Chains A and B, each alone.
Chain A
């Protein structure tokens, strides 16, 4: 079975640009969460989606948005990129809303120059 897949694996953007990151959860998993991991730190919670509805939001500015599609895949969008947005963005999926132990993807490495 395929795990959590994220695309792209790496990308470089310029300050002020917009970026879209994509995540496909494990088949049957209805919950998707997004995390930002700055180098040398633990992952920070951005969003949780369950059954296509936002169920949780972390302390991130409105430049960050996300959505979940009917097939439970998800997109994370970041507008007006700042240098500080450079990080590894991790997507995690789980079967139910209770966090039984997320399965994480390998992440998207975003570099803002």
Chain B
């Protein structure tokens, strides 16, 4: 069965510091992988997605993620965090081209940024 784990419930970083949010997934076939960000009371915004090809994916707002099949991981990174990055981050895994599989979300990591 599909599943997503985000080991860190909450992370606090200083503004300007680097950031890495961890994501591990379980999926039998080649997964589609996503990172979303959610500000309080808002919907989810897609940061980046991986379908195939280059395992290092660039997204919006200066974020990137690296797909590592051997580790079943898709960690999100940003070299320098801004105060506006404080939000909830969700990793998600979706199905293959031949199915209508649903997109499964992880429990989320809450990011706080210290000025």
Q: A: which residues have CB within 8 A of B?
A: 4, 33, 35, 41-45, 48, 50, 55-56, 58, 90, 92, 97-107, 109
Q: Which residue of A lies closest to B51 (CB)?
A: A100
A-B contacts, 29 of them at CB < 8 A, read A33-B103, A35-B105, A42-B4, A42-B106, A42-B107, A42-B108, A43-B44, A43-B90, A43-B105, A44-B105, A45-B102, A45-B104, A48-B100, A50-B100, A56-B100, A56-B102, A90-B43, A92-B44, A98-B95, A99-B32, A99-B95, A100-B51, A101-B49, A102-B46, A103-B46, A104-B36, A104-B45, A106-B43, A107-B43
B102 nearest in chain A by CB position: A45
Number of interface residues of B (CB under 8 A): 25
User: Beyond A35-B105, A92-B44, A100-B49: 15 further Cβ-contacts under 8 Å?
Assistant: A41-B107, A41-B108, A43-B90, A45-B103, A48-B102, A58-B102, A97-B100, A98-B32, A98-B95, A98-B97, A100-B51, A102-B103, A104-B43, A106-B42, A109-B41
Which B residues fall within an 8 A CB radius of A? 4, 32, 34, 36, 41-46, 49, 51, 90, 94-95, 97, 100-108
Q: Within the complex, what minimum Cβ distance (angstroms) separates B49 from chain A?
A: 5
Residue of A nearest to B6 (CB): A42
Instruction: Enumerate the 4 nearest inter-chain pairs by beta-carbon distance, A residue then B residue, closest first.
Output: A42-B105, A55-B100, A104-B43, A45-B102
Q: Which residues of chain A are near B94, meaning CB under 8 Å?
A: 99
Residue of B nearest to A6 (CB): B43
Contact B102 A33 (CB under 8 A): yes
**Minimal beta-carbon separation of A26 from chain B (angstroms):** 13
Nearest CB of B to A78, in Å: 18
Asked whether, in the complex, the Cβ of B100 is within 8 Å of the Cβ of A101, the reply is: no
Q: Does A101 lie within 8 Å of B46, measured CB to CB?
A: yes
Residues of A within 8 A of B101 (CB): 56, 99
